[in-house]
Amino acid sequence: MQKIDEEALAEAYNRALALEKSGDVEAAVKAYEEVLAIDPDDHGGAAVRIASMGRGETPDKAPDAYVATLFDQHADVFEDVLVEQLDYHVPMLVRQRLQALKLGPFARVLDLGCGTGLTGGALRDMSDDITGIDLSENMVEIAHEKDVYETLYVAEVVDFLEDNDDEPFDLITATDVLPYLGALEALFFGAAENMNAGGLFIFSSETLPAETFAGRPFMVGPHQRFAHSEAYVRERLNAIGFDVLELADITVRKEEGEPIAGHLVIAKLRG
């Protein structure tokens, strides 16, 4: 493991942030490139910030080190910030749509990106057995304290889906996971491989106007989170073997008081 010069990293990152905030995009990109040279694992998400300014290549996903660091740092205040300040209610939307469509109860549920257990808690009485996966150890510790899950793992979600050899699941959820992933093939394929025929895959995504995508299937939006086009989501699900039962326009959360547009998708694995 390469030893990081923390002082140089902090100086470069703070300088990059200041340049980005001032609107000097070219200088900010150069400063973020310095950050990446100091910290190749990218704990601060420099590559994502570069992409959000429309520069460089769009990464296939947010760096694991960045996601783990981000949520480890904010685990203690996560629910207060997400629910109270950002008006995030996707887990309850998941519950409401499953009930409205008369889907469930479920024997085995897999909650990808479980965080502190918001989705697991919303589905607890609809599930016999829930497994939670999250990259942040601190988030998993908080979820464990709630006694919502039968099993919890600290893991990157696609890695878990590739390596898992437990019994397949009847329902897989991924709320607030796609904003940290660009390319969706590995996630969708992994979900299919870990699901019973006829099983359900329900997830949320963020999106942008078609003219903003300009033909791209996904991109990093202005808040350093991935957005996906509806056409891309539908095409990838169909290609991997899912039928879309419902794709609804939702407000995923708020940023700086403004609603963030997204989708809530319920897909069924073909039998």
Instruction: Please report the domains of the chain, with CATH numbers, ordered by start residue.
Output: 6-76 (1.25.40), 77-269 (3.40.50.150)
The whole-number pLDDT of residue 74 equals 86
The Cα–Cα gap between 163 and 195 comes to 14
3-state SS, 43-109, equals: CCCHHHHHHHCCCCCCCCECCHHHHHHHHHHHHHHHHHHHHHHCCCCHHHHHHHHHHHCCCCCEEEE
Q: What is the greatest pairwise CA distance in the chain?
A: 56
The whole-number pLDDT of residue 2 equals 59
- Are residues 218 and 229 in contact, defined by beta-carbon separation less than 8 angstroms? yes
What predicted TM-score, i.e. pTM, was given to this entire model? 0.94
Q: What's the average pLDDT block by block, 10 residues per block, for the chain (271 residues)?
A: 79 93 94 94 94 92 94 88 88 97 97 97 97 97 96 98 96 97 98 98 97 96 95 98 98 93 98 81
